[in-house]
Amino acid sequence: MNRIFSIDRFERQIAALLPQDGAPVHVLRAKLPAGAREGDCVAFQDGAWRLLPEQTKQLREELFALQESLFDE
């Protein structure tokens, strides 16, 4: 399995990608798939960045559950 990143933010033409561990990676925004947005999960596969919709859904669910647990305390 390739390393998975989440799109943290866009800074003009640069995308800041966060791996599950380690330092952020910066790539040209134009190298990402059309429609990629902050919070999406991506991986570099076969020479191109690919969206990972299942991982994005899972990450959003995990973040929502964490947010809910913080407000329930």
**Model confidence, pTM:** 0.85
Task: Read off the CATH number of the domain in which 41 is found.
Answer: 2.30.30
Secondary structure of residue 24 in the 3-state scheme: coil
For residue 68, the enclosing domain spans 4-72
Q: Which pLDDT does position 4 carry in this prediction?
A: 94
Q: Which pLDDT does position 20 carry in this prediction?
A: 85
Q: Which pLDDT does position 73 carry in this prediction?
A: 63
Provide the number of structural domains found in the chain.
1
Note whether 34 and 40 are within 8 A (CB): no
Q: What DSSP state is assigned to residue 37?
A: -
Cβ burial 12-45 (10 Å sphere, 16+ → b, else e): eeebbbbeeeeeeeebeeeebeeebeeebbbbbe
pLDDT tens-digit series, residues 8-67: 999 999 999 999 888 999 999 999 999 999 999 999 999 999 999 999 999 999 989 999
Q: Which pLDDT does position 2 carry in this prediction?
A: 76
| 31/70 Cα distance (integer angstroms) | 36
